[in-house]
Amino acid sequence: MRINTLPQAISFDLIWRSMFSGNGFTEADIGNDVGKDIGIKESGKMTSNTQSQILIVDDDKDVLLTAELLLKNKQRRVTTLLNPCDITEAFAEQPFDVVLLDMNFTRGITTGEEGFYWLHKIKELSPHTQIIMATAYGEINLAVEAIKQGASDFLVKPWDNEKLISTVNTCLELSHSKQRIDHLQETQRTLNEKLESDFGQIIGESPAINEVFSLIDKVAATDASVLILGENGTGKELVARALHRQSQRNGSPLISVDMGSLTESLFESEMFGHRKGAFTDAREDRAGRFEVANGGTLFLDEIGNLALPLQAKLLKALETRQVTRVGADRSTNFDIRLICATNLERERLNDETYFRRDLLYRINTVEIVLPSLRQRPSDIPLLAKHYIEMYARKYNKPAPVLEAADVKKLQQYSWPGNVRELQHSLERAVIVADGGKLRAEDVVVNRTSHQSEKMELNIARLEEQAIKRAIQHYEGNLTKVAKALGLGRTTLYRKMEKYGLSD
Q: Which element (helix H / strand E) includes 273?
A: strand 273-274
| Whether 167 and 242 share a structural domain | no
| Whether 21 and 163 share a structural domain | yes
| Whether 265 and 336 share a structural domain | yes
Collect the ranges in the chain with pLDDT lower than 70.
Answer: 1-50, 108-110, 137-140, 185, 187-200, 445-460, 503
- Whether 188 maps to a domain, the answer reads no
Give me the pLDDT at residue 199, please.
45
CATH of the domain at 459: 1.10.10.60
Residue where a domain stops, chosen among 404, 426, 446 = 446
pTM: 0.59
Beta bridge partners of residue 131, listed in sequence order: 99
- Whether 62 maps to a domain, the answer reads yes
CATH of the domain at 317: 3.40.50.300
**Burial status of residue 212 (CB atoms within 10 A of its CB: 0-12, 13-18, 19 or more):** buried
What residue type is 374 in one-letter code?
R
- Whether 494 maps to a domain, the answer reads yes
- Whether 489 maps to a domain, the answer reads yes
| Whether 405 and 479 share a structural domain | no
Number of structural domains in the chain: 4
| Whether 56 and 75 share a structural domain | yes
| Whether 20 and 147 share a structural domain | yes
Q: What is the pLDDT of residues 33-87, one digit of tens each?
A: 333 332 333 333 333 446 889 999 988 888 888 888 888 887 888 999 999 999 9
Residue where a domain stops, chosen among 446, 462, 484 = 446
Give me the pLDDT at residue 149, please.
86
| Whether 418 and 442 share a structural domain | yes
CATH of the domain at 433: 1.10.8.60
Residues in Cβ contact with 463 at an 8 Å cutoff, skipping those fewer than 6 apart: 495, 499
- Whether 198 maps to a domain, the answer reads no
Distances in Å between the Cα of 253 and the Cα atoms of 186, 291, 318, 323 are 11, 11, 18, 18
| Whether 403 and 282 share a structural domain | no
Q: Which of 104, 117, 101 is CA-nearest to residue 149?
A: 117
| Whether 242 and 334 share a structural domain | yes
| Whether 256 and 299 share a structural domain | yes
Sign (positive/negative) of CA torsion 204, 206, 212, 218?
Answer: positive
Query: Does residue 253 have a cis peptide bond before it, meaning omega lies within 30 degrees of 0?
Result: no
- Whether 392 maps to a domain, the answer reads yes
Q: Which of 301, 306, 299 is CA-nearest to residue 355?
A: 306
Rounded CA Rg of the chain:
32
Domain range spanning residue 26? 12-178
| Whether 153 and 24 share a structural domain | yes
- Whether 7 maps to a domain, the answer reads no
- Whether 191 maps to a domain, the answer reads no
CATH of the domain at 151: 3.40.50.2300
| Whether 172 and 210 share a structural domain | no
